[in-house]
């Protein structure tokens, strides 16, 4: 019971720090806010902040990282890697109405307005692609695993961009979630069966 209470308190502290950081970054710009200012706004010591977030970038980017490799490696028996990923993103689409849209869009605006954060997102995507490839490999250096990982990460990024764009244009979370669910199926059908049927040589 005490362990559960400690975990809840740690999660509350982590959330308070992240919310304070996002608020300050949105108000003044990511590059203009120091870690000391974030710690002060959250009511914690700087050393406490770094116990939860390894770098300043992590204050923003930890919330947007996708652990696709874990989804693949921890999938239920009998479920294919693509099946597990499809199920994960369909679940996100179903849960979209419960997401804090304002916080999500604020995070997107903060990232979009900072070259450092955009570079961090790019690096994170590269890391996720290699981690996913390693999870898919049947043998070291498996080319097909690396090609599939590249396709999956590109597809997921595109789905996310479309979802964020709809929210930014005023769509409700329910509508954006419905559209995302449909697009997840379209995207993973293409990954499962290939693009030839849609963009093959018709000559």
Rounded to the nearest 10°, the torsion over CA 39, 64, 80, 195 is -160
Same domain, 21 and 74: no
Same domain, 47 and 85: no
The tally of domains found in the chain comes to 2
Mean pLDDT computed over every residue of the chain: 91
- Residue 161 in domain: yes
Domain end, chosen from 25, 42, 59, is at: 59
pLDDT recorded at residue 52: 96
Same domain, 31 and 69: no
Count of alpha carbons within 13 angstroms of residue 130, beta-carbon side: 5
Residue 135 main-chain phi, psi, to 5 deg? -70, -25
Same domain, 43 and 109: no
Query: pLDDT per residue over 44-62, tens digit each?
Result: 999 999 999 999 999 999 8
Can you give the residue range of the structural domain that contains 184?
A: 65-193
Confidence of residue 5 (pLDDT cuts 50, 70, 90): confident
Domain end, chosen from 16, 38, 59, is at: 59
Q: How far apart are CA 104 and CA 201, in angstroms?
A: 40
- Residue 200 in domain: no
Whether residue 188 contacts residue 85, with contact meaning beta carbons closer than 8 Å, is answered with: yes
pLDDT recorded at residue 97: 79
Residue 11 sits in a domain of what CATH number? 1.10.10.60
- Residue 87 in domain: yes
Same domain, 108 and 38: no
The answer on pLDDT for 196 being more than 70 is no
Query: pLDDT per residue over 65-118, tens digit each?
Result: 889 999 999 999 999 999 999 999 999 999 887 888 888 889 999 999 999 999
188-203 average pLDDT score: 71
Confidence of residue 3 (pLDDT cuts 50, 70, 90): low
Same domain, 74 and 13: no
Q: How far apart are CA 133 and CA 145, in angstroms?
A: 5
Global confidence as pTM: 0.84
Same domain, 42 and 88: no
Same domain, 41 and 118: no
Q: What's the first-to-final CA gap in the chain, in angstroms? A: 68
118-133 average pLDDT score: 94
The answer on pLDDT for 149 being more than 70 is yes
pLDDT recorded at residue 131: 96
Q: How far apart are CA 138 and CA 66, in angstroms?
A: 22
How far, CA to CA in Å, does 188 sit from each of 106, 131, 146, 153?
29, 19, 17, 12
């Amino acid at each position: 019971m005490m362990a559960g209470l400690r975990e809840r308190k740690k999660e509350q502290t982590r959330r308070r720090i992240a919310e304070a950081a996002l608020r300050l970054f949105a108000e003044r710009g990511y590059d203009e806010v120091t870690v000391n200012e974030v710690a002060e706004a959250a009511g914690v010591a700087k050393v406490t902040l770094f116990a939860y977030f390894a770098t300043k970038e992590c204050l923003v980017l930890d919330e947007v990282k996708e652990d696709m490799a874990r989804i693949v490696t921890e999938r239920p028996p009998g479920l294919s890697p693509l099946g597990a990923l499809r199920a994960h993103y369909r679940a996100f689409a179903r849960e979209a109405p419960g997401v804090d849209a304002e916080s999500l869009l604020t995070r997107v605006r903060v990232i979009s307005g900072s070259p450092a954060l955009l570079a961090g997102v790019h690096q994170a995507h590269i890391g996720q692609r290699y981690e996913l490839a390693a999870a898919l490999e049947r043998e070291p250096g498996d080319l097909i695993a690396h090609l599939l990982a590249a396709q999956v990460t590109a597809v997921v990024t595109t789905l996310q961009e479309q979802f964020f764009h709809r929210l930014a244009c005023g769509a409700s979370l329910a509508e954006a979630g419905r559209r995302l669910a449909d697009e997840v199926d379209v995207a993973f059908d293409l990954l499962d069966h290939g693009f030839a049927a849609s963009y093959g040589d018709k000559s």
